Structure 1
Amino acid sequence: MISRKLSEKLNEQINKEIYSAYLYQDISNYYAVKGLKGFSKWFAIQAGEELDHARKINGYLLDEGITPVLSTIAAPDSRFEDLKAPLVAAYEHEKFITSSINDIFRAADDEGDYRTKRFLGWFIDEQAEEEKNASELITEYDLFGSTSQGLFMLDSKLGERK
């Protein structure tokens, strides 16, 4: 049985994952307005993945006999000073999410809740990939985004995401 403390942390994580979807949809909208359809598509897909993460945690709580408690989702701050700023915001946010998942894992470990630890293993692996992808986007933007040709190529590449 999941403790009340872990249940609360998992409920909070659902909120954080849904906020992530809000943030990435907001970034997608930003790039769409700027005419960067590939960037927009990449972040729209990312928003969908974040909702999948929230559903996964929601389902786990239900499977464990706990009714998930959904709370208010804050609006993201969509004031970006340049095309790189959303990429940095996404990377910083992924590091925040990683820290949050690690905190829940630590709490599960402290309580000897091996089932929750096993469940969270997927999220730990996923966060390693998420941080890597976000970091690579910044690197690629730094390498290619300063010229219109490079930006076009990067936008085209991001638009290929399935």
Structure 2
Amino acid sequence: MISKKIQDAINTQINRELFSEYYYLSMASYFNSAGLNGFENFFLVQVEEERFHAMKMYRFLNERGGRVFLKEIEAPKTEFKSPLEVFELAYEHEKLVSSLINNLVDLAIQENDHAARNFLNWFVEEQVEEEASMDAILNKLKLIKGEGHGLLMLDNELAQRVFTPPAK
């Protein structure tokens, strides 16, 4: 049985994962309206990943005898100045999520909940990848100053991304 403290913390994180899904959907919509379908695709894949993360936590709570309590999802930012701004915000958001996951791991250690700690380690590793992915694209956008032929080439590159659910 999972402790109420960890159950509440994971419920909060489920909300944050669903907010991330919503936030990235807003970013995808921005790129769609700008005619950058590859960038839109990149964020639509992010949407699926964030939903996967939330559902992974949902299943974990249920498996441990906990209960999921859904909360209101905050409205995301909807207006952006440029592709560069979007990726700056996305990178900062991923760094925030990493800190939230780390806080969950710290709580699992404090509560001596080895199952939760083991479960959360997957998310720690996932966040390393998430930050690196956002940072890499952000750096490319900075190199090309977020415009011109470089932007179109990057758009074509991002169009190739597909969501592949992790094995577990």
TM-score using structure 1 length:
0.97
How far apart are the structure 2 equivalents of 1:77 and 1:151?
23
Counterpart of 2:52, as a letter, is D
Q: Could you tell me whether the CA contact under 8 Å between 2:2 and 2:65 is conserved in 1?
A: no
Rounded to whole Å, the distance in 1 between the matches of 2:49 and 2:33 is: 22
Runs (4+) off by over 6 Å: none
Deviation at 1:153, TM superposition (A): 0.3
**Alignment correspondent of 2:136:** 136
Percent of aligned pairs with the same amino acid: 37
The answer to whether the 8 Å contact 2:39/2:159 transfers is yes
Query: 1:84 aligns to what SS in structure 2?
Result: helix
1:41 deviates by 0.4
Q: Specify the alignment match of 2:95 in structure 1.
A: 95
| 2:161 is equivalent to residue 149 of structure 1 | no
**Matching residue of 2:107:** 107
- Where in structure 1 are there 5+ consecutive unaligned residues? none
| SS of the residue 2:82 aligns to | coil
Q: How far is 1:79 from its partner?
A: 1.9
| Preserved CA contact (<8 Å) 1:7 1:61 | yes
Matches within 5 A, 1:1-162: 1-162=1-162
Shift of 1:11: 0.2
Q: Is the 8 A contact 1:145 1:154 kept in 2?
A: no
Task: Give, in whole Å, the separation in 2 of the partners of 1:6 and 1:149.
Answer: 49
How far apart, CA to CA, are the structure 2 residues paired with 1:32 and 1:100? 30
Alpha carbons 1:18, 1:73 under 8 Å: kept: yes
Match of 1:24, SS state, is helix
CA contact (8 A) 2:105 2:120 kept: yes
| Root-mean-square deviation (Å) | 0.9
When the two structures are superposed, what TM-score results if normalisation uses the length of structure 2? 0.94
Structure 1 position 145, deviation (Å): 4.6
* Contact 2:82–2:146 under 8 Å retained in 1: no
Please state whether the residue corresponding to 2:67 is helix, strand or coil. coil
Contact 1:27/1:40 (<8 A) preserved: yes
Are the counterparts in 2 of residues 87 and 137 from structure 1 also a CA contact under 8 Å? Answer: yes
The runs of 5 or more residues in structure 2 that have no matched partner are: 163-168
The number of residues matched between the two structures is 162
